[in-house]
Structure 1
Amino acid sequence: MTQTRIAVIGGSGIYDIDGLEEAQWTEVETPWGKPSDAILTGTLDGVAMAFLPRHGRGHVHSPSSVPYRANIDALKRLGVTDVISVSATGSFREEMAPGDFVIVDQFIDRTFAREKSFFGAGCVAHVSVAHPTCPRLSAACLRAAQDAGITVHDGGTYLAMEGPQFSTLAESKMYRESWGCDVIGMTNMPEAKLAREAELCYASVAMVTDYDSWHPDHGEVDITEIVATLKGNADKGRALVGRLPALLGAERAPCPHGCDRALDFAILTAPDQRDPALVARLDAVAGRVLG
């Protein structure tokens, strides 16, 4: 058993955790640069918590400029075991209406301007992201949402686009009709991939704000409507997060799905061929297997 430390990466509209005890903002240095912001740490119902505003306080980072590697590395350095991503999304499904939440279990990654791995030349590794979210952690998020009275959908495919512009009508129809996606956003990739490389359990809670541009009765995305929906979703998101400590507990066993052992057989570069500089940068992310 190890101590549970839950991290919440808050997207648009989520900038803190209600009721956090002994709360303090902590600056964390990483070899991958500065995280999006300082990290708010404390305890909630006896469970260690951390909160990282993905875009920084004041929303200073665009989806493409978020320092994803630094964020995940910083959480790992703080001893985080479980990461919950909370983010605003558009919906491709009539039944997934604005104000609803979706517990994402799959992704299609259409981003192209971001560093997507901690590994590379000098230390090559390949992890599986066939199932990119942790079923145990996702189930806890589902239960927390239900207990909070939130309309929540169990399972969905998240189309990660580069942004910062919203989709064209043709793209929106393609993602919905041909590709079978359920929600669309700009921030969960490469975040989910990096969390897997760092052997962190990861769950994604999509907070629906709009119908993207495919819906004949809603037209193009209206940013003013999104902001209005964001405010209501933020309250729901905090209610969900507030129920997680009781569901996850202060101690946890090894992940039954192997998220915390993702690097067991992933590193292919022979020890004598590894780049010492890169290995040094991987001290938090891969120290368990690199020694």
Structure 2
Amino acid sequence: MDPVIGIIGGSGLYQVDGLEEATWTSVDTPWGAPSDDVLVGTLSGTRVAFLPRHGRGHKHTPSTVPYRANVAAMKMLGVTHLVSVSAVGSFREEMAPGDFVVVDQFIDRTFARDKTFFDSGLVAHVSVADPVCAVLAKACAEAARQAGAKVHEGGTYLAMEGPQFSSKAESHVYRQWGCDVIGMTNMPEAKLAREAELHYATVAMVTDYDSWHPDHGNVQITDIIETLHGNVAKAAALVAALPGLVTHECTTGCATALDYAIMTATDARDPVVVDRLRTIAGRVL
């Protein structure tokens, strides 16, 4: 079976050009409707599904994005490889606005979101020690280079609740923690993708230096939007390059993440919860 690539586009990326036979498709998941309809088509012979994370017109805040529905919709459409394209602030001088960072770790500081598909009646504990598919991340880095972006491979993404940007004190603390970039949307998305046994990777597009940098002042949304506009063309070119680079090869166990995760005994499982979870965990149920 050939890979099916899902793209979740963050701020500034609301559509994908060049898809053949593209149609906006409505998907109804057990966790409700996703952020928007999903644009489904083919790109260089590969099936691609694109979802604007905030909805067309940017309707959802980072806290109100329906993360479970978004990931479930991708799974229901047959997606095997899910790529997040996200705007971030940088904690590192060398990761400058306009650069792309293919992150490999996350610190989750969000608190107002549903973070798992599993529930009372069917309990599971999935390892997110390696939250990113290493092979897919390599493909994304190569696609970004082909798109003309300056690429940093590896980095830790601090996920904050938002929607406000960091205080200077917070920004300095996160730098001391060893974080490299900061954003508001890749958690719980990465955790949910792991539960859904999807290969997941994040391409973080740097728009600013958060609020720590003494020479760049505070984060201004106008500056972010200006940098975003410059990144969108590269992001589109990155997506166009992915079909020739994505394979089923994996070294991080993405497609078998649920093998030893489910704790609830078979005879103690809630049939309603089990039925709902077949959407994302049918392989082990």
2:51 aligned residue? 52
User: Is residue 286 of structure 1 aligned with residue 281 of structure 2?
Assistant: yes
Equivalence for 1:258: 253
Cα distance in 2 for residues equivalent to 1:55 and 1:253: 29
Runs of 4+ in structure 1 over 4 Å off: none
Name the aligned partner's letter for residue 266 of structure 1. A
Q: CA deviation at 1:147?
A: 1.6
Aligned residue in 1 for 2:104: 105
Secondary structure of 2:140's aligned partner? helix
Alpha-carbon distance in 2 for matches of 1:247, 1:120: 36
- Distance apart, 1:256 and its partner CA: 3.6
What pairs with 1:153-232 in structure 2 (closer than 5 Å)? 153-176=152-175, 178-232=176-230
Aligned-partner Cα distance in 2 for 1:102–1:275 = 42
- Deviation of the 1:253 alpha carbon: 3.8
Alignment partners' CA distance in 2, 1:36 and 1:222: 26
Shift in alpha-carbon separation, 1:254–1:265, aligned structure 2, 3 A = farther
Asked if the contact 1:199/1:261 (under 8 Å) is kept, the reply is yes
Matches within 5 A, 1:1-291: 2-176=1-175, 178-248=176-246, 252-253=247-248, 255-290=250-285
Q: CA offsets, 1:28-78, max 9 Å, x none? A: 000101100000000000000000000000000000000000000010000
The Cα offsets for residues 157-199 of structure 1, whole Å up to 9 and x where unpaired, read as 00000000000000000001x2010000000000000000000
CA gap of 1:253–1:170, structure 2 versus 1, over 3 A, is: closer
- Mapped partners of 2:39, 2:152: distance in 1: 29
Following TM superposition, by how much is the alpha carbon of 1:3 offset from its aligned partner in structure 2, in angstroms? 2.2
Query: Matched residues in 2 for 1:138 and 1:34: separation?
Result: 28
Per-residue CA deviation, residues 6-46 of structure 1 (Å, 9 max, x unaligned), is 00000000111121000000000001011000000000000
How far the C-alpha of 1:265 sits from its partner, in A, is 0.8
Amino acid corresponding to residue 183 of structure 2 in structure 1 = G
Deviation at 1:254, TM superposition (A): 5.9
Structure 2: gaps of 5 or more residues: none
User: 1:240-271 CA deviation, whole Å, 9 max, x = no partner?
Assistant: 111000112xxx44634210110011101001
Decide whether aligned partners of structure 1 residues 221 and 253 sit closer, same or farther in structure 2, where only a CA change above 3 A counts: closer
Secondary structure of the equivalent of 1:181?
Answer: coil
SS of the residue aligned with 1:284? Answer: helix
* Number of residues of Structure 1 aligned to a counterpart in Structure 2: 285
1:113-135, Cα deviation, whole Å (9 max, x unpaired): 00000012110001110010000
- SS of 2:282's partner is helix
Deviations 1:86-116 (A, max 9, x none): 0000000000000000001000000000000
> How far, CA to CA, are the matches of 1:80 and 1:148 in structure 2?
23
Q: Distance in 2 between matches of 1:253 and 1:144?
A: 16
User: How far 1:283 moved relative to its partner?
Assistant: 1.4
Tell me the SS of whatever aligns to 1:289: coil
Q: What root-mean-square deviation, in Å, do the aligned CA atoms of Structure 1 and Structure 2 show?
A: 0.8
In 1, distance between residues paired with 2:57 and 2:257? 34
The percent identity for this pair of structures is 69
Please tell me the residue identity of whatever aligns with 1:236: K
Structure 1 segments unaligned to the other structure (5+ residues): none
What is the identity, as a one-letter code, of the residue corresponding to 2:113?
Answer: R
Take 1:228 and 1:144, find their aligned partners in 2: how far apart are those partners?
23
CA distance in 2 between counterparts of 1:257 and 1:47 reads 23
Distance in 1, Cα, partners of 2:116 & 2:235: 28
